[in-house]
Structure 1
Amino acid sequence: MSGAIGLIVEGYVSLKDQKALDQLRAQRRKLIADLNVCIGIDCTSTIQQIEEDIVVIEAGLARLDGPMTS
């Protein structure tokens, strides 16, 4: 997990900001789509890192959807 994306997601989860997390995930998905059409360079490792970011973001979203404990 990327340390930076983990901290960002933690911040949004603590603020219960689902919209920001949704936007962050959408931006990452667009980056992957843009990188998939690149010709002449190997973007495999970059795409893999972005996919790992999406996993972290989705875990944050799941925490917002799950039962809240005090």
Structure 2
Amino acid sequence: MSLSIELIVDGYVKLNNRSALENLLAHRRKLLQQLNCVTGTDPKQAIAQVTQEIAVIQRALAALARE
């Protein structure tokens, strides 16, 4: 897992910036969709990374919803 995405998400949570988290989640989902369409190379590692990032963002959104 990339430390940078965790720091970005933590910053948005501290700022209570749900909109930025939702935009980040939408971007990662679009990226995942594009990676799943890649041919000619094996994107498994990138897909795993983006999937982990999506999970981090979703946990942060859930935490904001509980507040």
TM-score, normalization: structure 1? Answer: 0.90
Identity of aligned residues (%): 45
Q: Secondary structure of the equivalent of 1:42?
A: coil
| Corresponding residue of 1:19 | 19
| Corresponding residue of 1:2 | 2
Larger Rg: 1
Structure 2's unaligned 5+ residue stretches are: none
Distance 1:46 1:28 in 2: 11
Distance 1:61 1:2 in 2: 18
Please tell me the residue identity of whatever aligns with 1:55: A
Q: Which has the higher helix share?
A: 2
For residues 30-69 of structure 1, the C-alpha deviation after alignment (integer angstroms, 9 at most, x for no partner) is 0011111111110011000000001111111111001x3x
